[in-house]
Amino acid sequence: MGGFLYLSSTEKQPQEKVAYRVLGKTGIRMPVITMGVMNTDNPNLVRAALNAGMFHLDTAQTYQRGTNEAMIGEVLKGRPRDSFAISTKARLPNDRNTGLYLAEATEEAYTKKIDTSLKNLGLDYIDIYHHHNVWRRESAFYEPIMKALEKAKKAGKIRFIGITTHRNEPEVIRAAIDSKVYDVVLTAYNFRQQHGPEVKKAIAQAAEAGLGVVAMKTIGGNIRGSYASETIDARAALKWALQDPNVHTIIAGFTTFDQMNLDLAVMKDFALTQSEKNHLRRAKLFSGLYCQGCGQCLGQCLKQLPIPDLMRAYMYVYGYRNLVEAQDLLFSLNLPSEFCGDCSSCPVKCLNRWNVSARIQDVVHLREVPSNFIA
Ligand code: SF4
Ligand code: SF4
């Protein structure tokens, strides 16, 4: 079992075997924890995860400035094609405040994204291709992207079609079910979500409809570290998500071998201990770095800033320690030349009671750092 589980004599002894669940109608049998590769550029860690049986790797075309897919492709060279499954994802230009697509978001552009991912990964087909970062029902049904995905599936470039959502998740999950096009949903799901019961209900409906359900952001905005006085027990947070049988796998974003070993241990025994339950109950009282994605701030800001995206950049910096993703996100936001500093007061009321203006003014400094310094 390794040295990562502390069990008192009264606690249940761990199972010896890794738990597997089937990813809905895709029929893919996966360990309950697999690897989210977003935060690492270390091929040895990815190799070790596959060698340890993690089986499924989740990436995106933009991760690590577009190099993450190619790094994974190198690791996969020479491995039997049925010994791993790959998920990747892409999106097209959209309005950050409405979540709706812009005119340049065409079927052709999305087909190019799929072809680029295939080339980067060096694969003949991708197991799951996700329509990335959707938070509106209308966007889930956006025809040019759906058509590109359906044609790619028919052509054998991808096996299954997925959709990812970090915000307004229940609406997007229900849209995915209604569409009859998506096979898999990848959703934020954690102990900290104030709308957690709604997400749980939507996940149950997705599983009932035969969709595969993959969970992300299960640690609630932190990457196994501490933020100010708050420390999240990753083991407890992962176990919490696995109590839901409709979560087929979690993509865990570990960046060290110790963290990977902790996840491997959780895959063998995810019964929550009383002390872990108490820890999560306490941790839920702090908003930490996790933006609830409620959208209540949108429309309040005098400069119409895309505040949830800015809070995500802030989380990437202080939670994930992933400055590359944070800087890329900031550059993609087309922020006005003046904001926050020239507002006499800030009318934004955040559900988390964050001083969003202070967080924005802090994180935007990252735009001034030359990209090659943080690559
Ligand atoms: S201070 Fe910043 S967040 Fe607040 S209204 Fe002004 S621009 Fe928006
Ligand atoms: S109000 Fe706060 S929690 Fe809600 S979306 Fe805005 S930043 Fe996130």
CB of 357 closer than 6 A to ligand 1?
A: yes
Query: What is the chain's alpha carbon radius of gyration, rounded to the nearest angstrom?
Result: 20
Q: For residue range 148-185, list pLDDT tens digits in order.
A: 999 999 999 999 999 999 999 999 999 999 999 999 99
Q: Which residues line ligand 2 (CB under 6 A)?
A: 291-297, 307-308, 311, 350-352, 354, 356
Domain ranges of the chain: 20-283, 307-373
Do the beta carbons of residue 235 and residue 268 sit within 8 Å? Answer: no
Angle at CA 208, nearest 5°, toward 205 and 213? 75
CB of 348 closer than 6 A to ligand 1?
A: yes
* pLDDT level of residue 9 (50, 70, 90 thresholds): very low
3-state SS record for the chain: CCCCCCCCCCCCCCCCCCCEEECHHHCCEEECEEEECCCCCCHHHHHHHHHCCCCEEECCCCHHHHCHHHHHHHHHCCCCHHHCEEEEEECCCECCCCCCECCCCCHHHHHHHHHHHHHHHCCCCEEEEEECCCCCHHHHCCHHHHHHHHHHHHCCCEEEEEEEECCCHHHHHHHHHHHCCCCEEEEECCCCCCCHHHHHHHHHHHHHCCCEEEEECCCCCCCCCEECCEECCHHHHHHHHHCCCCCCEEEECCCCHHHHHHHHHHHHCCCCCHHHHHHHHHHCCCCCCCCCCCCCCCCCCCCCCCHHHHHHHHHHHHHHCCHHHHHHHHHHCCCCCCCCCCCCCCCCCCCCCCCHHHHHHHHHHHHHCCHHHCC
CA dihedral for 131, 254, 14, 233, sign (positive or negative): negative
CB of 271 closer than 6 A to ligand 1?
A: no
Mean pLDDT of all residues in 335-342: 91
Q: How far is the CA of 75 from the centre of ligand 2 (A)?
A: 38
Q: For residue range 66-108, list pLDDT tens digits in order.
A: 999 999 999 999 999 999 999 999 999 998 888 899 999 999 9
Mean pLDDT of all residues in 333-345: 91
Tell the residue nearest (CA) to atom 3 of ligand 1: 357
| The pair of three-digit structure tokens given for residue 139, joined into one six-digit string | 């966007």
Q: Which CATH architecture has domain 20-283?
A: Alpha-Beta Barrel (3.20)
* Pairing of the two strands 33-36 and 184-188: unpaired
The confidence score (pLDDT) of residue 229 equals 52
Q: Which residue has the higher pLDDT, 260 or 375?
A: 260
User: Which ligand is nearest the CA of 297, by number?
Assistant: 2
User: Which ligand is nearest the CA of 358, by number?
Assistant: 1
Res. 365: pLDDT tops 80: yes
The confidence score (pLDDT) of residue 287 equals 80
Q: How far is the CA of 358 from the centre of ligand 2 (A)?
A: 14
The confidence score (pLDDT) of residue 223 equals 54
How many other C-beta atoms can be found within 10 angstroms of the C-beta atom of residue 284? 16
Q: Which atom of ligand 1 sits closest to the CA of residue 305? A: 8
Mean pLDDT of all residues in 11-30: 83
The confidence score (pLDDT) of residue 320 equals 83
Mean pLDDT of all residues in 10-17: 55
The confidence score (pLDDT) of residue 230 equals 62
Residue type (1 letter), 223:
I
CB of 70 closer than 6 A to ligand 1?
A: no
* pLDDT level of residue 334 (50, 70, 90 thresholds): confident
Q: For residue range 276-327, list pLDDT tens digits in order.
A: 999 999 988 888 888 999 989 999 999 999 999 999 999 999 888 889 999 9
User: Minimum mean pLDDT among 15-19, 38-42, 143-147, 236-240: which range?
Assistant: 15-19
The confidence score (pLDDT) of residue 208 equals 98
Residues 18/23/29/32 CA torsion (nearest 10 deg): -10
CB of 339 closer than 6 A to ligand 1?
A: yes
CB of 209 closer than 6 A to ligand 1?
A: no
The confidence score (pLDDT) of residue 65 equals 87
Angle at CA 201, nearest 5°, toward 195 and 206? 125
| 219 torsion bin: left (phi>0), alpha (psi -120 to 50), beta (else) | alpha
C-alpha span between 37 and 42 (Å, rounded): 9
CA dihedral for 137, 68, 86, 195, sign (positive or negative): negative
| The pair of three-digit structure tokens given for residue 177, joined into one six-digit string | 């079910």
Q: How far is the CA of 78 from the centre of ligand 1 (A)?
A: 52
The confidence score (pLDDT) of residue 245 equals 98
Q: Which residue has the higher pLDDT, 6 or 309?
A: 309
The confidence score (pLDDT) of residue 79 equals 97
Residue that the structure tokens 């027990």 belong to: 233
Res. 342: pLDDT tops 80: yes
